[in-house]
Amino acid sequence: MKTYKATTPGRRHRRDVSYAHLVLKRPEKSLTRSLNYTAGRNSSGRVTVRHRGGRHKRFYREIDFKRDKRDIPAQVVGLEYDPNRSAHLALLFYTDGAKRYILAPKGLRAGQTVLASVKAPIRAGNALPLKSIPVGTTIHNLELTPGKGGQLVRSAGTAAVLQSKDKAASIKLPSGEIRSVSLACYATVGEIGNIDKKNIKLGKAGRKRHMGIRPTVRGTAQHPDSHPHGGGEGRSGVGRPSPVSPWGKKTLGKKTRRQRKYSNKSIIKDRRKK
């Protein structure tokens, strides 16, 4: 972590991750495309997601979540920053000339070789089907449907654990949920890097504005015409049995998951149960 001298109020509490190990260059052009930004507006121009807008221009890096170049070794050219996610990226050059971005696991460095194969060694950055990964291994970028690409465990500092294998694999996710996944699904070995991302302190409101996050006003501080929590004398609180959204819908603890969701049958242990 980097700390700063208090030369300004914004620097006093600022704390950043050191990016000394990253390559400071423009992203690979063949793997980059323009990213359309709507600032929370729909096709009619109306705000449908509040508190968005005014962020810095970004480009999207196309990431290989499928790891479908099998049995072809790739060299890690360097690690790069990605403004669209918390994890860092690793740029791979394959021996057949192809270039790909993958999520950079902890410990991966430039010059190392990674491989996606059924017979790949159990080493950070290598991708294998769950049937080939030993029980107790930490994994990330986990598929839910064979061939669809990684959908789970993709943010900085996260890792799942392969707990058992029978007809299917039992995976303990970072949330504590234990889920059954097909043994044919691919996953990448290791924990995702940039583990100190959670310790960053922005230091000033302006950095949040650069990220496209606009200010939020508490409902209790608003006029009663603007919010159900508004009005009253002084700091009067919510003033109703349960908190609600500006449109009267229950919030702060209200469960929103569908009771008959198709994936319920694959959950062995809910994350809320001890």
Does 256 lie in the same domain as 175?
A: no
> Residue 101 — pLDDT band, cuts 50, 70, 90?
very high
Q: Is the pLDDT of residue 156 over 90?
A: yes
Does 228 lie in the same domain as 191?
A: no
Q: Is residue 9 part of a domain?
A: no
> Mean of the per-residue pLDDT values for the chain?
95
Specify the pTM: 0.91
pLDDT tens, position by position, 23-76? 988 999 999 999 999 999 999 999 999 999 999 999 999 999 999 999 999 999
Does 162 lie in the same domain as 117?
A: yes
Q: Is residue 4 part of a domain?
A: no
Q: Which residue in 117, 141, 140 sits closest to 129, CA to CA?
A: 117
pLDDT tens, position by position, 160-169? 999 999 999 9
Q: Is residue 211 part of a domain?
A: no
Say how far apart CA 199 and CA 90 lie, in whole Å. 22
Q: Is the pLDDT of residue 131 over 90?
A: yes
Does 225 lie in the same domain as 173?
A: no
Does 261 lie in the same domain as 223?
A: yes
As to burial, measured by CB atoms within 10 angstroms (0-12 exposed, 13-18 middle, 19+ buried), residue 267 is: middle
Say how far apart CA 53 and CA 211 lie, in whole Å. 9
Range(s) of the domain holding residue 235:
219-274
The mean pLDDT of 138-157, rounded to a whole number, is 96
Q: Is residue 232 part of a domain?
A: yes
Cβ 180 vs Cβ 268: under 8 Å: yes
Share of the chain above pLDDT 90, in %: 94
Does 168 lie in the same domain as 47?
A: yes
Does 28 lie in the same domain as 130?
A: yes
Say how far apart CA 77 and CA 98 lie, in whole Å. 12
Q: Is residue 1 part of a domain?
A: no
Q: Is the pLDDT of residue 273 over 90?
A: no
Say how far apart CA 270 and CA 135 lie, in whole Å. 21
**Range name among 1-5, 83-87, 140-144, 269-273 with the lowest pLDDT average:** 269-273
Task: Give the per-residue pLDDT at 56.
Answer: 95
Q: Taking the CA atoms of the chain, what radius of gyration do you get in angstroms?
A: 22
Say how far apart CA 36 and CA 254 lie, in whole Å. 32
Does 105 lie in the same domain as 38?
A: yes
DSSP H helices in 24-78 = none
Does 176 lie in the same domain as 71?
A: yes
Cβ 188 vs Cβ 67: under 8 Å: yes
Q: Is residue 165 part of a domain?
A: yes
CATH number for 167 = 2.40.50.140
Q: Is residue 6 part of a domain?
A: no
Say how far apart CA 142 and CA 160 lie, in whole Å. 9
Does 47 lie in the same domain as 120?
A: yes
Does 185 lie in the same domain as 65?
A: yes
CATH number for 253 = 4.10.950.10
Q: Is the pLDDT of residue 210 over 90?
A: yes
What's the length of the chain? 274
Q: How many domains does the chain have?
A: 2
Cα–Cα distances in angstroms (integers) from residue 204 to residues 8, 188, 214, 215, in the given order: 10, 36, 13, 12
pLDDT tens, position by position, 223-247? 999 999 999 999 999 989 999 999 9
Q: Is residue 2 part of a domain?
A: no
Where does a domain end: 162, 197, 232? Answer: 197
Task: Give the per-residue pLDDT at 32.
Answer: 96
pLDDT tens, position by position, 164-200? 999 999 999 999 999 999 999 999 999 999 999 999 9
Looking at residue 8, its amino acid is: T
Does 190 lie in the same domain as 224?
A: no
